[in-house]
Structures are given as C-alpha cells and as structure tokens.
Amino acid sequence: MLFYSSYMLTALAALLVTCHALQKLPGTPRLPSVPGLPGRDGLKGQSRLPGLLESLDAQLVLLNLKHRLSRLEGVLALNGKIKEVGEKIFASNGKEVDFASALESCEEAGGTLAAPTNEEENKAILSIVKQYNRYAYLGIKEGETSDRFEYINGKPLNYTNWHQYEPNGKGTEKCVEIYTDGRWNDKKCNQYRLTICEF
Ligand code: MMA
Ligand code: CA
C-alpha cells in the first residue's frame, strides 16, 4: 500500500494541479486540448490524439486511480475493515452462517471464502477471528471422493495448520474451521461460523 515515493507523489501532484488548472475538471484529470487536434474522446472520422500523448494521458489517469485506490485501502485498513497480505485482501461482514451461506456471501461480493496459503495469510485471517472472537470457516473442503482436504477451487493444499489430532472426522467433517489460536479443525458444514472472505 505504501507504494508511492514522496518524489512520485510530488510529481503526481504537480501534474494533477497543472491538468486541473488547465482544464478545470474535477476528478479524473485530462490532458489539455492541443490546438488543431481533437480531444481524447476523438471526433468521428478525424485524426485522434497522437499515440504518445494518448499513452501519457492514459498513464496519468492510471496513476491517479492507483493513488486514489491506495488512499481508500489506507482508510479501510486504518478502520480495521480489511487486512492486506501480498495481493490478497481479507475482510469479514461480521456474520455467522453455515459454510454454504458464507461462501455464497463471499462470491456475491466478488470474492471467495478466505483460505490461507501460508503463515502470513493465516495470521491475517486469525487477526479477524480475534477481532470478532469467533471461529470462522475456511475456503477448504474435503473432496467428495478423494477424502483429502483441498481448496474449494479443487487445488491441493500447499499449507496446513491443523490442531493437534486434527483432522479426525474420517469423512464426517467435510469443512474446516479456524480456532481463535489460528489452528484448524475439520468440522461439520452446518455450524454457524464467522464469514471471512478474500478478494
Ligand atoms: C468436537 C468437534 C470435532 C473436533 C473435536 C476436538 C467432539 O468433537 O469440534 O471436529 O475434532 O471436538 O475435540
Ligand atoms: Ca475435527
């Protein structure tokens, strides 16, 4: 999240201020119009903004969007609404529901159920579990026939954090919950557990 150097931010600010002053457009900055050339939106049947300017314009728009997104992520992280680890964002709606409903909520929101693929991700999920002091279902299930636990996309687990003597359900506990100490337990899928999604 803390991706931009102060130099980049200064350069960005200078560009934004310039564009803003030139165009008096709030929000997404635009390149000033070039005399004798159509604007970025172009005019049907006429020549378009030359490629170099067009690409600079696109880069500026992208930089501005990234900056705005990074600020929003800062706000959400500050308020404890999201945990970011690498490319993943973890978040909870605070609701306790069965496995199928939890997965459904996550997918409806454009994500999936949180499934840790390493210790760092497990810790991020654990911090949400501790925040609500509730066990949560993970995006991990025992295969229909394989009797092996796997990610819900069917891929094999590359990291586990089973509690001592778990998994012990021998096919009767097809879902996985994470305890408030971060360890995992295979568990029936019809319990009410905290929903934690990853995006
Ligand atoms: C419960 C249930 C199991 C778990 C054991 C651990 C009694 O069953 O949560 O999934 O393995 O507790 O003692
Ligand atoms: Ca168990």
CA distance 36 to 34: 6
Q: Determine whether 194 is exposed, middle or buried from the number of CB atoms within 10 Å of its CB (0-12, 13-18, 19+).
A: buried
Q: Cis link prior to 156 (omega < 30° from 0)? A: no
Whether 59 is in the pocket of ligand 1, judged by its Cβ within 6 Å, is no
Whether 193 is in the pocket of ligand 1, judged by its Cβ within 6 Å, is no
Per-residue pLDDT tens digits for 75-126 = 999 999 999 999 999 999 999 999 999 999 999 999 999 999 999 999 999 9
Task: Look up residue 156 and give its DSSP letter.
Answer: B
Residue 18, pLDDT score = 46
Question: Which residue ranges make up each domain of the chain?
Answer: 2-78, 87-198
State the DSSP string of 157-180: PS---BPTT----TTS--EEEE-T
Residue 82, pLDDT score = 98
Q: Are 156 and 148 in contact (CB under 8 A)?
A: yes
| Closest ligand 1 atom to 167 CA | 11
Residue 46, pLDDT score = 53
Strands 112-113 and 83-85: unpaired
Mutate to test the pocket of ligand 1, among 165, 168, 186 (most ligand atoms within 8 A of CB): 168
Q: What CATH topology corresponds to 87-198? A: Mannose-Binding Protein A; Chain A (3.10.100)
Measured in whole angstroms, the distance separating CA 78 from the mean position of its chain's CA atoms is 15
Low-confidence residues in the chain, pLDDT < 70: 1-47
Count other Cβ atoms within 10 Å, centred on residue 39: 15
Cβ contacts of 155 within 8 Å, gap of 6 or more:
none
Q: Are 90 and 125 in contact (CB under 8 A)?
A: yes
128 token code pair: 């949400």
